Amino acid sequence: MTDARLAEGTSPFGDGRTMQVRRLDPAGDAPLVHSWVREERARFWGMTGHTVEQVRDIYAFVDSLDTHHAYLVSVDGAPVALLQTYQPGEDPVSEVYEVQPGDLGIHLLLAPASAPEPGFTERLVAALGAVVLLDPSVQRVVVEPDAGNERAGDRVRRTGFDLGPQVDLGEKRAQLAFLDRATLEALAPAGV
């Protein structure tokens, strides 16, 4: 079984900047994460109506698990994303697809950008992919964005994920997608 915990630390971002990945502090980071998830653009995250305390409690619960983990991702010190990893075999998603050895589930919420930066998301995904690849047991990344989230669907296709079936995951209709290790390796920034 793939461990869903990522190596924390810094790595190249692919454009001369540095990306930092650190474990989310449920209490300390709750106000920041809350400011992101309450926005309409984050409605697919399912927390637009949550309070700071509810966000804190949710991530305190995630932090207590051995199978699910949350991280704050920054580029040159500026927070840019919330990343969650999980073992698909220990998640409800395992009820809708056949989990393979080496599968790692991922959820990614991008922070709001005051000035959109062309190519930023692609560099972020590539840099995060390099972090994921540090674990040799990871053979495939699994994502399941809401099927109605066109922006996430476009991102998944542009990144090179293979689309799987659309499935019902309780509160959402999801688009399963898979990215194998070889494709992820090809995305990694130079020097990683």
Is the domain covering 9-187 a CATH 2.140.10.10 domain? no
> Low-confidence residues of the chain, pLDDT below 50?
none
What are the two backbone dihedrals, phi and then psi, of residue 172, each rounded to the nearest 5 degrees?
-150, 155
Estimate the crossing angle of helix 150-159 against helix 120-132, to 10 degrees.
60
Estimate the crossing angle of helix 52-64 against helix 26-37, to 10 degrees.
120
pTM more than 0.75: yes
Return the pLDDT at 5.
75
Enumerate the domain spans of the chain. 9-187
Return the pLDDT at 2.
60
Return the pLDDT at 176.
96
> Which residues neighbour 11 within 8 Å (Cβ) at sequence distance 6 or greater?
18, 19, 21, 127, 130, 131, 192
Return the pLDDT at 121.
86
Amino acid at 166: Q
CA distance 137 to 101: 8
Return the pLDDT at 190.
59
Q: How far is CA 84 from its chain centroid? A: 5
Return the pLDDT at 113.
86
